[in-house]
Amino acid sequence: MALDKIGIAKRIAQEVQNGFYVNLGIGIPTLVANYVREDIEVEFQSENGVLGMGPFPFEGEEDADIINAGKQTITTMPGASFFDSSMSFAMIRGKHVDLTILGAMEVAENGDIANWKIPGKMVKGMGGAMDLVASAENIIVAMMHTNKRGESKILKKCSLPLTGVGCVTKIVTNLAVLEVKDNVFHLLERAPGVSVEEIKKATEGTLVVNGEIPEMDV
């Protein structure tokens, strides 16, 4: 059974370690804050100028002035701080973020990522994603393995305009956990009930499968 968005977020939350500073991109990544282990301390950063984001607020408890980069209302943890964009991007460009979690429309086997523009569609700009992928050394992508037409989004080469080149380290999709290494995808885990053959069929890029592939623990 393929994972839903919450399942993807739960699996990525397992990658978050004690003491990490983590940037969460728009979309599925914003859900990760809800599923991080309670016995570890993590600081979530949003490029619009928040350090110390908490889970999403309960309905009726939202504060419209406290939002993330995707303009969603958020909560803050004790000790959270607010600052301007220049300070926020100094943190990002200065490599002070330990883990960056982003959504994507396409990822290539060499680690290229396309996540900001579909040609012909109106878009305001790349936003902070360009700085994040240029500066981060640990990037995990949260995405669906295929598009609505069933075509692979895990590719030999991206067809959409790139956000960053050779920067993705790991991908968690609704079907699998993949590591990007040596210009190929390495299959690490599969979603519960999903076979290796199904993952191969849904992957256009080169997929390396070594030994028995365990199911994700979600």
Tokens of 39: 């016995």
47 has catalytic annotation:
yes
Q: How far, in Å, CA of 19 to CA of 203, rounded? A: 34
- Sequence-distant contacts of 208-217: CB under 8 A, at least 24 apart: 208/184, 210/186, 213/187, 213/188, 213/189, 214/189, 214/190, 215/189, 215/190, 215/191, 216/3, 216/7, 216/11, 216/177, 216/189, 216/190, 216/191, 216/192, 217/14
- Helix, strand, or coil (residue 2): coil
User: Whole-angstrom distance between the N-terminal and C-terminal Cα of the chain?
Assistant: 12
Among residues 15, 43, 47, 212, the one annotated as catalytic is: 47
Which parts of the chain are beta strand (E)?
21-24, 43-46, 50-53, 76-82, 99-103, 106-108, 113-114, 139-142, 154-155, 170-172, 176-181, 184-190, 207-208
Quick count: other Cβ atoms within 10 Å of Cβ 73? 14
Catalytically active residues are 47
